[in-house]
Amino acid sequence: MKIAILPGDGIGTEIMAEAVKVMAVLDLPFETETALVGGAAYEAHGHPLPESTLNLARAADAVLFGAVGDWKYDKLDRPLRPEQAILGLRKHLGLFANLRPAICYPQLTAASSLKPELVAGLDILIIRELTGDIYFGQPRGRRVAVDGHFPGAEEAFDTMRYSKPEIERIAHVAFQAARRRNKKLTSVDKANVLETFQFWKDVVTEVHAQYPDVALDHMYVDNAAMQLVKAPKSFDVVVTGNMFGDILSDEAAMLTGSIGMLPSASLDKANKGLYEPSHGSAPDIAGKGVANPLATILSLAMMLRYTLNQAEAAVRIESAVDAVLSAGLRTGDIWSEGMQRVGTREMGDAVVAALSGRVAGKTTTPITQA
Ligand code: IPM
Ligand code: MG
């Protein structure tokens, strides 16, 4: 199992080091190769996604990705900015299906900004289409307006578009995920205003005919944003486009109070994929050894489950994380009164210890991951 390790920028290198430690104690035939990506790659090679890094990602069975970005690159031309690395990997590897679970760990209910009863037991899965929509739609650019409210003025434009096969394939991923869970899918659109999302709704409805056992409902994105904070547990699997998914998945992550806990998977049509924590590079705390490595460690678990067919190892990791939380260990982002505050490395060490059965504290039933 060849794994490309792309730590990236900011806290990326620190959290990745802990995930690599976890890999090492799993007793699986991993072969890893590490490469630069994002701002780190720009510094060394003049490009955020050098050819060598892309080739490594292509050749690997799976990619474990840290995070990219730093304010200091905000002034670079867009194609040279760190974010282009992740967008490029998604595009070049055909990673169209982004799975973002939002799970509220019972031990962490107090970390949410919502009332405990609203989020206790929350376990939803956001499925975001990842290679289409306004993110990649052409044409885009700047020009002098020839029409509109201010002809002759400078303007900028992007294009929102989805083809039928693009919607069909993400709909299939979503219906199949719903089938493995509670057979309930919400498709989020803006069909009341946008042609693209009326089409989205029509195509998802058409695909639904092949999944009569799954209950499908449709919701406008503004209402979905509202319902997510009003009654988050009314959702199970949510499927939506690239841009709405970007926004709603951050909102959903914050319901759990701990974006530092949430893994994600970006899969291609053969379930090959890139796995990354849902959080960013957090340059404000980089290098301080305080970042939470658990989202990256849980991303490794997702990789084992989805791409490497090692579900048992995935459960072992998830149970180890659960044990560590039950033992009261907390990085700053999830710390609350009475808990033991630890740094990045101590948290990683604790997971490694739990994997070898060396952590005190009761082990609760592991959370079902997506
Ligand atoms: C995400 C991020 C990216 C996105 C950025 C870094 C390009 O916000 O993975 O959600 O917008 O997709
Ligand atoms: Mg985002």
Token look-up 């998945």 returns 249
Is the domain of 272 the same as that of 245? no
Does the structure show a pLDDT above 80 at 48?
A: yes
Burial of residue 132 (number of CB atoms within 10 Å: 0-12, 13-18, 19+):
buried
Predicted model pTM: 0.92
* Cα 273 from Cα 98, distance rounded (Å): 9
Catalytically annotated residue among 135, 162, 211, 306: 135
Is the domain of 90 the same as that of 106? no
Confidence band, pLDDT 50/70/90 cuts, at residue 359:
low
Is the domain of 165 the same as that of 239? yes
Reference 7, options 99, 97, 108, 85; nearest CA is 85
User: Does residue 156 form part of some domain?
Assistant: no
Is the domain of 116 the same as that of 218? yes
Closest ligand 1 atom to residue 68 Cα is 6
Minimum CA distance residue for ligand 1 atom 7 = 83
Q: Is 87 in the pocket of ligand 1 (CB under 6 A)?
A: yes
User: How do strand 329-330 and strand 340-341 relate by DSSP bridges?
Assistant: parallel
Domain closes at, from 209, 235, 261: 261
Is the domain of 104 the same as that of 208? yes
Tokens of 87: 């967008």
Minimum CA distance residue for ligand 1 atom 2 = 246
How many angstroms is it from 323 CA to the middle of ligand 1? 31
Owning domain of residue 246: 97-132+161-261
User: Does residue 139 form part of some domain?
Assistant: no
Tokens of 135: 């993110």
Minimum CA distance residue for ligand 1 atom 6 = 83
Q: Which of 81, 87, 128, 278 to mutate to test the pocket of ligand 1 (most atoms within 8 A of CB)?
A: 87
Minimum CA distance residue for ligand 1 atom 12 = 246
User: Does residue 149 form part of some domain?
Assistant: no
Confidence band, pLDDT 50/70/90 cuts, at residue 259:
confident
Neighbours of 198 (CB within 10 A): 14
Token look-up 């379930």 returns 271
User: Does residue 69 form part of some domain?
Assistant: yes
Is the domain of 217 the same as that of 352? no
Task: Give the mean pLDDT of 100-113.
Answer: 90
User: Does residue 67 form part of some domain?
Assistant: yes
Domain closes at, from 243, 261, 279: 261
Does the structure show a pLDDT above 90 at 184?
A: yes
Reference 154, options 162, 145, 141, 165; nearest CA is 145
* Cα 214 from Cα 100, distance rounded (Å): 20
Is the domain of 277 the same as that of 369? yes
Q: Is 86 in the pocket of ligand 1 (CB under 6 A)?
A: yes
User: Does residue 142 form part of some domain?
Assistant: no
What percentage of the chain reaches a pLDDT higher than 90?
A: 91
Is the domain of 121 the same as that of 173? yes
Minimum CA distance residue for ligand 1 atom 8 = 246
Is the domain of 118 the same as that of 208? yes
User: Does residue 144 form part of some domain?
Assistant: no
In the chain, the amino acid numbered 95 is L
Show Cβ contacts of residue 281 under 8 Å, excluding neighbours closer than 6 positions: 8, 9, 10, 11, 12, 38, 66, 67, 68, 69, 70, 82
The full length of the chain comes to: 370
Is the domain of 185 the same as that of 201? yes
Contact of 313 with 369, CB cutoff 8 Å: no
* Cα 115 from Cα 166, distance rounded (Å): 38
Tokens of 365: 């039933």
Region of poorest pLDDT, from 112-126, 165-179, 211-225, 347-361: 347-361
When divided into structural domains, the chain yields a total of 2
Q: Is 83 in the pocket of ligand 1 (CB under 6 A)?
A: yes
What percentage of the chain reaches a pLDDT higher than 70?
A: 96
- The pLDDT tens digits for 144-177 are 999 999 999 999 999 999 999 999 999 999 999 9
Is the domain of 125 the same as that of 226? yes
135 belongs to the catalytic site = yes
How many angstroms is it from 276 CA to the middle of ligand 2? 12
User: Does residue 150 form part of some domain?
Assistant: no
Is the domain of 118 the same as that of 206? yes
27 belongs to the catalytic site = no
Neighbouring residues of the ion ligand 2, judged by CB less than 5 Å: 246
217 belongs to the catalytic site = no
pLDDT at residue number 358 = 67
| Domain containing residue 249: CATH number | 3.40.718.10
Domain closes at, from 261, 289, 318: 261
**Residue 155 Rama label (left phi>0; alpha psi -120 to 50; beta):** beta
222 belongs to the catalytic site = yes
